[in-house]
Structure formats: C-alpha cells, structure tokens
C-alpha cells in the first residue's frame, strides 16, 4: 500500500470512528424540552404505589434520575447520596424519584436497603426509557441521566454521566436556582 492509499484509508477510518462515536454517545433530552408525562409502579419504604409525573409536578419540581441497575455498586452509591440529600431537596421544594428497568419486587428491596426509605424508585419501562432517550444501546438498561423538571413540565437541567458522582450536587443546584 502506498502513502496515498494509507492516507485515504486513515481518513475513512477516522470518518467511520467519528460516526460511531456520534451514534453511541448519549442522546438524552436537552434542557428546554417538555418532559414526557408517564405513570408507573414505584416503591417507597418497601411499599408499592402508583407514581404519576404530572401528580408529582403539581406538588413541586421533580428530580427524575435514571440509573442502570439496582444493587450494583455505582447505583447503590448514587441512591445513598440522593438519600442523604433528600432533606435539602425537600427544603428547596423538590421531590426525587429514581428510575430503572428493575422489576417492582427488586425496587421494593432497593427502596428500603439503599434509598433508605427516603425517596421512591420506579419501574422504567422501555417506553419511558425511549421517551427520555436514556435506553443504553439495546442493553435494556438506562443510562445514568438526571433531569430536573420544573412544575410547568419543562426540563430545566440535564446531567448525564456514567459516574454517579455529581448527579446529586448538580440537580440540587438546579432545583435551588428555580427558587430564585
């Protein structure tokens, strides 16, 4: 292969690599988007109940955070961090709900053991994950994405990062900014 062919091959490879990165990168809903309404089964303190985003928004802003799987290390640490910060979210007038595609029995246990009975976790169906653009590449898991939704239903902040650290601080800052 001569030098010109190597350059062309490198350019084509770079183009395909860039395209692959573009299609696999997170494509969460952007700030300023209307949050899709949904209702689902959720658990709080080990008890199942029906959760409606619209009903929650009638009471104040909502932090809707998606996480991949209950009882995994990062998701457990994230749930612990949100549980510790719930008094601050409440003081700012907001509620928090975590969402994963785990079944309701798993979420009942997770709500007791790792959410420390402080906030609910809900079943994120494939339809809800698709509506929020958090389905993680056909794996059936949600990407780690946090949304702050104002009472009018508009998304005012988005934080998407596989590292659980930062989600609580960034969403709490966004909720506090709503009060100003």
Domain with 164 in it: what CATH number? Answer: 3.40.30.10
Cα dihedral 40/101/25/115 (nearest 10): 90
- Compute the distance between CA of residue 53 and CA of residue 58 in angstroms, rounded to an integer: 9
In a domain, 3, yes or no: no
**What's the pLDDT tens digit per position in 23-54?**
223 568 999 999 999 999 999 999 999 999 99
Which residues span the domain enclosing 65?
A: 26-179
Residue 151 belongs to a domain = yes
Please check whether residue 21 lies inside any domain of the structure. no
Number of domains in the chain: 1
pLDDT band at 140 (very low <50, low <70, confident <90, very high): confident
Residue 179 pLDDT: 83
128 in a structural domain? yes
Residue 126 within any structural domain of the chain:
yes
């Amino acid at each position: 292969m001569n030098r010109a062919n190597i350059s062309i091959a490198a350019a084509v490879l770079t183009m395909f690599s860039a395209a692959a990165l573009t299609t696999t990168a997170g494509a969460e809903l952007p700030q300023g988007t209307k949050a899709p309404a949904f209702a689902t089964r959720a658990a709080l303190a080990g008890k199942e109940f029906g959760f409606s985003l619209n009903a929650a928004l009638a009471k104040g802003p909502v932090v809707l955070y998606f996480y991949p799987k209950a009882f995994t290390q990062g998701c457990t640490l994230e749930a612990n961090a949100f549980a510790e910060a719930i008094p601050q979210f409440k003081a700012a007038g907001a509620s928090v709900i975590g969402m994963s595609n785990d079944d309701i029995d798993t979420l009942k246990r997770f709500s007791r053991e790792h959410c420390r009975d402080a906030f609910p976790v809900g079943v994120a169906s494939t339809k809800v994950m698709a509506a929020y653009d958090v389905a993680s590449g056909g794996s059936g898991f949600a990407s780690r994405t946090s949304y702050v939704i104002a009472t009018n239903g508009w998304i005012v902040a988005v934080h998407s990062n596989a590292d659980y650290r930062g989600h609580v601080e960034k969403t709490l800052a966004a909720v506090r900014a709503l009060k100003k």
